């Protein structure tokens, strides 16, 4: 990648920080996002109402649920899976008031699955703090057959839908929650570069 090159659609992530002006706080995390939750609650425990939805995952280097339970005084819901976290979030959203701030931590696929749920209720991106945790794996959308593959670690990926070898671009669709994958050998069929692991 050349110096100074930047794709504006590519998401930028930061560390979670409490928003002081919020009327309430909803924290949603999974797996390695547990460390982001611990850092957040070590800053302080806000006076405003807090709801925390968390799921450990088998691939996480460490299980955070037990530690989180000691730090979070109330409003904690430990879920068994990412899908259970999303279902719990759907139940909570109708009760959220104007001024609620959201904090999301975990894999990129998880972050954008949460964003999909928040969009349904009109939550703006400015009201969501996002911290990428654990893996840099990408979700890749095949522009040829419209299949989305998750947990892609390499620069070249074979689409599970159409079998084409895709170059994983840096262009990101917030609507799809995925990076664009385009056929790598469209101009020279069969000329497929070696795949490099660049999203560990």
Residue 33: give the domain boundaries.
24-132
- Provide the terminal-to-terminal Cα distance of the chain, rounded to the nearest Å: 18
CA angle 196, 199, 78 (to 5 degrees): 150
Q: Which of 132, 159, 191 is the last residue of a domain?
A: 132
Mark whether 72 and 56 lie in a shared domain.
yes
Rg of the chain taking only CA atoms, in angstroms: 18
Same domain, 147 and 102: no
| CB-CB contact of 166 with 181 (8 Å) | yes
pTM above 0.85, yes or no: yes
Convert the pLDDT of each residue in 145-195 to its tens digit.
999 999 999 999 999 999 999 999 999 999 999 999 999 999 999 999 999
Q: Are residues 47 and 108 in the same domain?
A: yes
39 & 120 share domain: yes
Our count of domains for the chain comes to 2
Q: Are residues 45 and 103 in the same domain?
A: yes
């Amino acid at each position: 990648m050349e110096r100074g090159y930047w794709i504006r659609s590519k998401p930028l992530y930061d560390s979670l920080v409490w928003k002081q002006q919020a009327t309430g706080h909803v924290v949603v995390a999974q797996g390695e996002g547990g460390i982001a939750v611990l850092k957040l609650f070590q800053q302080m425990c806000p006076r405003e109402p807090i709801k925390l939805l968390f799921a450990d995952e088998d691939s996480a280097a460490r299980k955070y649920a037990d530690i989180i339970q000691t730090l979070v005084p109330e409003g904690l819901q430990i879920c068994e899976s990412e899908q259970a976290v999303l279902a719990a979030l759907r139940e909570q959203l109708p009760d959220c008031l104007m001024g609620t701030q959201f904090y999301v931590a975990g894999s990129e696929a998880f972050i954008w699955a949460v964003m999909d749920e928040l969009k349904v209720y009109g939550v703006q991106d400015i009201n969501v703090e996002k911290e990428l945790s654990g893996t840099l794996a990408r979700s890749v959308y095949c522009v040829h057959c419209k299949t989305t593959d998750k947990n892609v670690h390499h620069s070249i990926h074979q689409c599970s839908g159409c079998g084409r070898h895709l170059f994983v671009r840096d262009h990101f669709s917030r609507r799809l929650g995925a990076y664009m994958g385009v056929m790598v050998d469209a101009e020279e069929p069969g000329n497929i570069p070696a795949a490099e692991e660049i999203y560990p």
